[in-house]
Amino acid sequence: MQYRRCGNSGIKLSAISLGLWHNFGHVDMLENSRAILKLAFDSGITHFDLANNYGPPPGSAEENFGKILKEDFAGYRDEMIISSKAGYTMWDGPYGDWGSKKYLVSSLDQSLKRMGLDYVDIFYHHRPDPDTPLEETMAALDLIVRQGKALYVGISNYGAPEAARAFEILKGLGTPCLIHQPKYSMFERWVEGGLMDLLGKEGVGCIPFSPLAQGLLTNKYLHGIPADSRVAKPHGFLQEGDVNENRINQISKLNDIALTRNQSLAQMALAWLLKDERVTSVLIGASKPSQLADSLLCLDNISFSEAELNVIETILH
C-alpha cells in the first residue's frame, strides 16, 4: 500500500480507501462484507468510508460495520480512519435531512451508536444545502470536532465556489477542512473545471468517489449484464440505461488500452485518477474480495505515457 498526505494536514490516507455504500447493508451477506473488510485491512487499506444512510435499509451498513469492528478488529481502532456523513434524507420530519446543526449533531450521535464508536475520524457534510446558511452547517462541523465526536471534517458534492466559502468559514472557526469527496472518474470529470485547482491551492485533500463509475469502468459489462452486478440488483444505484451502446463502445476501447498496459480496466481507471498528486485516495467499492484484490493491483503502475493519455482523451470525448 502507498500512503498519501491529505492536503496540508498531518494525516496520511491509504491510496485506496474502501466505501460501504453498497454490499454492507442488511440486504447483503454479512460474511461476505466481513471478508472484504478483512482483505482490505490486511492489504494496508486504513480508510473506511460510511454514511448515516448506507444500507439498505439506511443505517444498516454502520450497524454491520460496528458488529464486524467489534468481532474482528478489536485492538486495531488506532490504525483505522473511519468516516461518516450526514446530508441526505435519514429520518422523517424536518430534522432528518440537509444541513441544519440539529440534523448533523443528532445524526452523528446515531451513527456513533450504530458503529459502537466514541468518535469518527472524519465527519462530512454529504451535500450542499441551498436553504441552511453555510455558516450554520460549518459551525455544526466545528462544534462536532470540539465535542470530540470527530477529529477532522470534510465536505462532499460541493461545487468549487461553495467549497471555497466553506473552507474560509471553517478556517475562521479554527477547524480547517481536511478533505473534499467529489464524484470523479474517467466518465465524470466536472471536478476538472475548477474544484481540483481550488483543492490544490487550499491544501485540502481529495477523495474521488465512484472512481469505477459504479462498475462501468471494469470489464464486467462488456458482454451483457451479469446477474450479480449492481445494475441487476433491485436496490443498486446503477441503472440498465447507464449501460448503453455508446458507453459499451468506450468501455471496450478503454479495455483494449488497459490490456496493452497489462492492467485490468478497473486497475487502469484507478491509476488514471491516482496519477494526479492532488488525489489523496480513490474511494472504491467492491461486492466480493476478488474485485478488491484486482483493484488493489492498480498501484503497480500509475504512470501514463503522453500517447496513452491522448488516446484515452480521444475515447472519452
Ligand X SMILES: NC(=O)c1ccc[n+]([C@@H]2O[C@H](COP(=O)([O-])OP(=O)(O)OC[C@H]3O[C@@H](n4cnc5c(N)ncnc54)[C@H](OP(=O)(O)O)[C@@H]3O)[C@@H](O)[C@H]2O)c1
- Out of 21, 65, 98, 272, the residue judged to bind ligand X by CB under 6 A: 21
DSSP state, residue 190: G
Shortest distance, position 4 Cβ to ligand X, whole Å = 17
107 binds ligand X, rule: CB under 6 A: no
Interface residues for ligand X in 25-44 (CB under 6 A)?
A: none
**CA distances for 7 relative to 28, 45, 97, 198, 202, angstroms:** 35, 18, 29, 11, 8
Buried b (16+ CB within 10 A) or exposed e, 254-286: bbebbeebebbbbbbbbbbbbeeebbbbbbbbb
Is 237 in a helix, a strand, or coil?
Answer: coil
- Reported as half-sphere exposure (CB side, CA atoms, 13 A), residue 155 has a value of 32
What letter represents residue 65's amino acid? F
Per-residue string for binding with ligand X, 184-223, x by CB under 6 A?
-------------------------xxxxxxx--x-x---
With respect to ligand X, which residue has the nearer C-beta, 156 or 250?
A: 156
99 binds ligand X, rule: CB under 6 A: no
285 binds ligand X, rule: CB under 6 A: yes
Per-residue string for binding with ligand X, 247-266, x by CB under 6 A?
-------------------x
- Out of 46, 100, 132, 156, the residue judged to bind ligand X by CB under 6 A: 156
| Residue among 231, 96, 108, 207 nearest 157 (CA) | 207
Contacts with ligand X, residue ranges (CB under 6 A): 19-23, 49, 126, 156-157, 181, 209-215, 218, 220, 229-230, 266, 283-287, 291, 294-295
